Chain A
Amino acid sequence: MKRLLVLCLDSVPPTLLFGKLLEKLPNFRKIYENGTHGVLRSCHPPITVPAWMVMMTGKNPGRLGIYGFRHRRGSSYNEGYIVNSTHVKEPCVWDVLAEHGLKACVVGLPPSYPPKTIHGNLVSCMITPSAEKEYTYPLELKREIQRLVGEYTFDVPFRIEDRDGVKRHLFEMTERRFKVAEYLANNKSWDLFILHEIGFDRLHHAFWKFFDEAHPKYVKGNKYERIAEEYYSFVDERVGSLLSAIGEEASVLVLSDHGSKAMQGAFAINQWLEQMGFVKFVKKPDSVTEFDKAEVDWSATRAWGWGGYYARIFFNVKGREPQGVIPEQDLPAVKKELKEKIMHIRDPTGRLMQNVVFEPEEVYGEAIGDKPDLMVYFNNLDWRSAGTVGHETNYLSENDTGPDDSVHSMDCVFMFRGGGGGRRRTSQEMKGGNIIDIGPTILRLFDIRPPSEMEGRAIDLD
Chain B
Amino acid sequence: MGQIKRIHEMLQSGAITCTELTQKYLTEIENSNKELNAYITVTPDVALAQAKAVDEKLARGEEIGLLEGIPMTLKDNISTKGILTSCASKILTGYKPIYDATVYELLQKEGVVMLGKTNMDEFAMGSSCETSYYGGAKNPHNTDHVSGGSSGGVASAVGGNLAVYGLGSDTGGSIRQPASFCGIVGLKPTYGAVSRYGLIAYASSFDQIGPITHDVEDAAIVFDAIAKYDDRDSTSRGSEPTLPTLHDEIKGMKIGIANQYLNGVREDVKAAVLEAAKSYEEMGAEIVYFDLPELEFALPCYYILAMAEASSNLGRYDGIRYGYKAEHYIGTHDMICRTRSEGFGKEVRRRILMGTYVLSAGYYDAYYKKAVNLRGAIVEAFDRAFEKVDVILAPTAPVTAFKNGYLFGEETDQLEQYLSDICTVPVNTAGLPAVSIPCGEDSEGLPIGMQIIGKKFDEKTILNLAYKYEEKEDKFKETKWGVKL
Q: Say whether A and B bind each other.
A: no
> Which A residues form the contact surface with B (CB < 8 A)?
none
Give B residues with C-beta under 8 Å from A: none
